[in-house]
A and B are shown apart, each in its own frame.
Chain A
Amino acid sequence: MKKEKRVLLVGRPNVGKSVVFNNITDSYAVVSNYPGTTVEITTGKVRGERCSYQVIDTPGIYSLIPFSAEEEVTLKILFEETPDLIVQVIEAKNIEKMLPLSLLLLEVGFPLILAVNMLDEAWTAGMDLNLSELEKKLNIPVIGTISTRGKGMVSLKKTIEKKLIRGKEKAKAGFKLPYSREVEEPVQEMVKRQNAAKELLKDVIIPGKGTTNSLKEKLNYITMHPLWGIPFLVLVLYYGLYKFVGVMGAGVMVDYIDGYIFKGYLLPPLNDLAAFIPYSWLKELLFSQYGFINLGLRYGLAIILPIVTAFFFFFSIIEDSGYLPRLAMLLDTLFKKFGLNGRSVIPLILGLGCGTMAVVAARTLETRRERFIATLLLSIGIPCSAQLGLILAMLSQEPGALVLWGTALLVVLMGTGYFADKVLPGKSPGFYMEIPALRVPNIKALLSKTFARIKWYMKEIIPLFLLVSLVMWAASYVGLLNYLTGLTQPLLQVIGLPPELAPVFILGFFRRDYGAAGLYDLIQGGSLSADQLVVASLTLSLFLPCVAQYIMVIKEQGLSRGIVILFIVLLLAFCAGYFLNLLLSFII
């Protein structure tokens, strides 16, 4: 059988690769993890007029030296999987900076096509490009595209087909370079390549009069400004996280799916079914408070799923619009105090959505030290969207309590980061990052990205919830739950909380927001004072992350570091609760 031909899309980040991908492939793209990594690779199929082939979208690269685990994957695919054709997507207005990579790819001997994308942006910037001139000079196909408007896609597809069919007889078999991390690439060669690119582009770039988009420029200025950047960030967080994820996702969507679909239509017939089950243990396993249906399905699908969906959508927007790197740049100085740098913004913000995914994302940080600190902070108290939503709802009736909770949480997080930076050996690596242009994200790319993340969530997290309900069922069967609850009660008394809260804490580990939900019930019953509420909210936020996240921490950091993190978290949650309680009792 003939093996299907493979076409690789490569290029720098933010050049519109995924939009090109979505435009040329059929609608069913497959997102999979590259073997042995958590890096996502999107693969799609094209059934062309003359042949069909596979297109692989790869993580952005700057050169053939890997910056991060993601880039390593791109290089591995390039060198180990012998693709039949490479399509390098280039941002037209930055062609001078991106052509050196094309030259490098040609040097290595890859069959290459250039897709010079975002031509419209180049025209706006006052640059006209004579691409046929470039094509002649390089002797490879060069296609001008505006992927967001679908321009040039047909001709790109045609060229790919032509090259695939013709390339067969011409394919050089001998250029397989052994892949190594330390590709020898002295400065002189890079300078030479850059100069060659400039020389090549001499008759290609035709300067003209650009037009200015004043709104875009203003936004660009504001988002990077050390002062104005902060209120803009607050706006993004307020509308994006609070209004969209909190009110829309955690409020409206959850009410609809949980309240209407689940409680109205799905649960009643299932509960009727329960009456027919003769074994009480099975009934417990399926229908009890922590059973498969209640915890596994309803919690995972009706409560958490809508919240993370909203969050993933929000995150894709700030990612694709080019806002995240600006955030990294604004917060770099602050993060340096905690042994991190601007790059860590990405896992930490992701932690506000789903801590488990954030622990995985911490992989993209450069040093082990940074990965550990970021994981520690995520475990201590970056509240995930599920928990955040409930705590905000609970404390919003008492604005003072909300402020107190937020301040205390920040103090603990910052204190821990500061201390970790002082104690841990090694130092923080430098920060350097390309800041891409601000763009209106492409809706198709946004949706496919969000959908890929939701799929990841369903595959990785839902099974864990099912597992947890099994463990909970077993634990309550053998009386372990009662034992743990009994163990927690005296500790709670020390920090001024009633013993009724003990089960809330134990359960909080399994369902992070359940803790908060349990608190909510206690408030409704009027058995908590305002002080106790703040102390309990803080302690719960700092308390163990949910079990899914903790499992991921052990997977990523190893068992011994995982245990260290566990002890730090328990100790901190207890101490912080104790001191806050002490403080509050002094004030009154």
Chain B
Amino acid sequence: MIRRKKSFTLTELNKGDRARIIKVGGDRTKRRKIFALGILPGEVVILEQKFPVLLLKAGHSNIALDEGVGKNIIVSKENE
């Protein structure tokens, strides 16, 4: 049996996936700004769109992120 990967970067998810944020990387200031948007460890997000940029749905708000920022966000998949 193939062992399934537990954590992913946001960019590795498919459109429509639900995921829980584990960690946000990147430099301190940028990280805080992303936190301030509501992308915090423990929160559940849905990846709504992958192109032209990543589009996350967090609660009732939408947040757009580019690939570079998305690569730094580590998540685990929810109910799959």
Contacts and interface: CB of A to CB of B under 8 A. Distances in A.
B52 A329 contact: yes
Given A332-B53, A333-B52, A432 B32 contact: no
Nearest to A193: B40
A1 B52 CA distance: 58
A125 B38 CA distance: 19
Interface string A188-220: 001100110000000000000000000000000
Contact of A342 (B30, B31, B53, B58): B53
B64 A435 contact: yes
A93 interface: yes
B65 A431 contact: yes
B40 A191 contact: yes
A325 B64 contact: yes
Interface in A288-346: 325, 328-333, 336, 341-342
B36 A332 contact: no
Interface in B8-54: 26, 29-38, 40-43, 49, 51-53
Contacts of B69: 430-432
A517 interface: no
Given A190-B40, A195-B42, A329-B52, A94 B64 contact: no
A330 B52 CA distance: 6
B42 A125 contact: no
Contacts of A135: none
B79 interface: no
A191 B63 contact: no
Contacts of B65: 430-432
A432 B51 contact: no
Interface stretch (A61-69, A352-360, A392-400, A507-515): A61-69
A226 B52 contact: yes
Contacts, number: 100
Contacts of B36: 62-63, 65, 67, 190
A65 B66 contact: no
A185 B68 CA distance: 24
Contact of A435 (B38, B43, B62): B62
B61 A97 contact: yes
Interface residues of B, number: 31
A187 interface: yes
A285 interface: no
Contacts of A62: 33, 36-37
B55 to A, nearest CB: 7
Contacts of A94: 59-61
Contacts of A67: 33, 36
B34 to A, nearest CB: 6
A16 B49 CA distance: 27
B53 A187 contact: no
Contacts of A434: 37, 61-64
A431 B64 contact: yes
B12 to A, nearest CB: 17
A96 interface: yes
Contacts of A187: 31, 35, 40-41
Nearest to A328: B64
Contacts of A429: 30
In this complex, the member of B41, B52, B68 whose beta carbon has the largest number of chain A beta carbons within 10 angstroms is B52
Nearest to A435: B62
Contacts of A341: 66
A470 to B, nearest CB: 46
A416 to B, nearest CB: 22
Contacts of B59: 94, 96-97
B37 A435 contact: no
Nearest to A431: B66
A224 interface: yes
B19 to A, nearest CB: 17
A433 interface: yes
A336 B68 CA distance: 11
A336 B66 CA distance: 10
A344 to B, nearest CB: 13
Contacts of A333: 52-53, 66
B49 A224 contact: yes
A207 to B, nearest CB: 12
A562 to B, nearest CB: 29
B21 to A, nearest CB: 10
Contacts of A330: 52
A62 B40 CA distance: 13
A432 B62 contact: no
A435 B66 CA distance: 13
B32 to A, nearest CB: 5
B35 A93 contact: no
A432 B58 contact: no
Contact of B52 (A194, A332, A430): A332
In this complex, the member of B34, B51, B61 whose beta carbon has the largest number of chain A beta carbons within 10 angstroms is B61
A430 B68 contact: yes
Given A226-B49, A329-B52, A332-B66, 7 more contacts: A62-B36, A62-B37, A97-B59, A187-B41, A342-B66, A431-B66, A435-B63
8 contacts: A94-B61, A187-B35, A226-B51, A333-B52, A430-B30, A430-B65, A431-B68, A436-B62
